[in-house]
A and B are shown apart, each in its own frame.
Chain A
Amino acid sequence: MKIYFDGCAKTGGYTLLPDVGKKYSKLLCEKLGAEEYNIAQRCGNNRRIVRNLLEHDLSKFDLFVIQMTKRRRFEFFDGNRWISIGYDEGRLPNRFTGLSGKNMVNFISRRDENNNVIKHTMWGDDIITSNERSEFTVNDVSEKLREMIKYLLFYFNNIYTEEQGKIDELMCYSTIKSTLRNHKHIIIWMGEGDCDVPVDLKYKKGEKYTSGLYFGSDKHQMIYYDVLEKYRCMS
């Protein structure tokens, strides 16, 4: 038996916790005596999930566990590889703003060439970058990257809307469902905000978990039990 997993960091097992134990995909595969094929990635997005399904020979897998994610994320091809883009709120340290109190701003998340997720925002004309270890730098980006960050922030502020996100989410869900219609599959959603498609399992930030970056063994156990239960019902 071989199980296909795709999704974002949570299915990929990425966490800032020192020891997360076994991620839910591993637990499920151990329980079912299956081989794990897990291509989930940090900053993963629904378009990427669909693209991956279209690029794989599905007959090689006995079960698909697909974790849909935040609908505003997308990806583009930079000529060499696919770059995932996210957009999230985060705290900007006071030393950059000169303001007191918590300064919450929106960051562009970008999975870079080393598979690290780097975050950028703009404060005035400055580009503030936060690396994997939440270390901040100012204007330490190329002109090309500066321009891209500027336009991506513009996109999320002026063009992207939840209406568009809903359509995209529905399109991706429909394509996932119909692509897998002859295969056993379980579709999960994890994220903040809303999910308007009838997935099998929903894990909303703030309800079932607090932070994706601190997704611990208890959360993986919870998902493992839920997925196993769904699988048993299906079988």
Chain B
Amino acid sequence: MKKIYFDGCSWTFGGELKDPTAERFSRLICNELGAQEVNISRAGGSNDRIVRQLLVENNIEEYDLAIIQMTFPARTEWYSGVDGKDLWKKVNPKFNYETYIRNQGRHYPVIAKKRVEKTIREKFETHKDFWKYWYMNVANEVFFDVKENIHFQTIRDHCKARGVPLILSTINRWSKLDFDFVLNTKGLKVHQYGHPTKESHQKFAKMMLDKI
């Protein structure tokens, strides 16, 4: 094993770890296998970003293995045209939106809905009203499920067609798709903002090494 491709969101980046580049599961796996770690994950990253990076920005055939962690399908990105790290702007509603969307129609309190609307507006730097409208009126569970399925198939088939083995996981605990791993299981040790601890990263590394 020479070179491993990692992508995902903050969970793969090593969010809230003291020393992410040394403690995250991608590093632990590469240490164990003596492989080069290429970790292009980003905090707040979306499945759209993962697919773009896989299809357009990188050549997966240069890698011996791909380990990709999909995230919440409500996240997305848009092209700002402004060079630099914000060329593709991330769009990432807070976690309470995920809970809201998965419970819509099931006695979700009006006051809680208002709180979700407020956090969506507050979260975005630009186009606040548009994104609030989009998330509260256009997007819904069915929309996200289909979008997640298209991304899932694209990632899986792209790697398969190029003969690159893939370990595909998610942090979307509501997903109905057949992932190799769902990472944020109940009881997982996490930090203050919900990211896995050093011990949890060690657990992920072991799970994935067993799979390899």
Residue B95 at the A interface, CB < 8 A? no
Which residues of B in the span 73-119 have a Cβ within 8 Å of any Cβ on A? 78-79, 81
Chain B residues within an 8 Å CB radius of A54: 149-150, 153
Q: In the complex, A151 Cα to B137 Cα: how many Å?
A: 10
**Given A47-B150, A151-B133, does the pair A76, B138 have CB atoms closer than 8 Å?**
yes
**Distance of A71 from chain B, by nearest CB (Å):** 13
Assess A77 versus B142: contact at CB under 8 Å? Given A161-B81, A171-B51: yes
Q: What CA separation (Å) do A175 and B51 show in the bound complex? A: 11
Residues of A within 8 A of B (CB-CB), count = 28
Residues of the A chain whose Cβ atoms lie less than 8 Å from the Cβ of B154: 171, 174-175, 178
Distance between Cα atoms of A49 and B52 in the complex (Å): 20
Q: Does A114 contact B (CB under 8 A)?
A: no
Shortest Cβ distance from residue B130 to the other chain A in the assembled complex, whole angstroms: 5
Q: Is the interface of B mostly helix, strand, loop or mixed?
A: helix
Bound complex: CA A28 to CA B66 (Å): 42
CB nearest to A159 among chain B residues: B78
Q: Report the number of A-B residue pairs with Cβ-Cβ less than 8 Å.
A: 77
A155 contacts B157, C-beta separation under 8 Å: no
Q: How far is the CB of A66 from chain B (nearest CB, A)?
A: 15
Tell me the residues in window 30-48 of chain A with beta carbons closer than 8 Å to chain B beta carbons. 47
Q: Whole-angstrom distance between the alpha carbons of A176 and B151 in the complex? A: 12
Structural contact, A181 and B161, CB atoms closer than 8 A: yes
What class of interface size applies to chain B in its complex with A?
20 to 34
Return B80 CB to nearest CB of chain A, in Å: 9
Least distance between A114 CB and chain B CB atoms (Å): 21
Among the stretches A10-18, A125-133, A162-170, A212-220, the one at the interface with B is: A162-170
Residue A50 lies at the interface, judged by CB distance under 8 Å to chain B: yes
The CA of A76 and the CA of B139, in the complex, are separated in Å by 7
For B51, list chain A residues within 8 Å (CB).
Answer: 167, 171
Assess the A170–B143 pair: CB atoms within 8 A. Answer: no
A110 to chain B, nearest CB (A): 12
B164 to chain A, nearest CB (A): 13
7 contacts between A and B (CB under 8 A): A151-B134, A167-B55, A171-B51, A171-B151, A172-B150, A178-B154, A178-B157
Beyond A171-B154, A178-B153, 15 additional pairs, beta carbon < 8 A: A47-B146, A50-B153, A76-B143, A77-B140, A147-B137, A151-B130, A151-B137, A151-B138, A158-B130, A159-B78, A161-B78, A170-B55, A178-B154, A178-B161, A181-B161
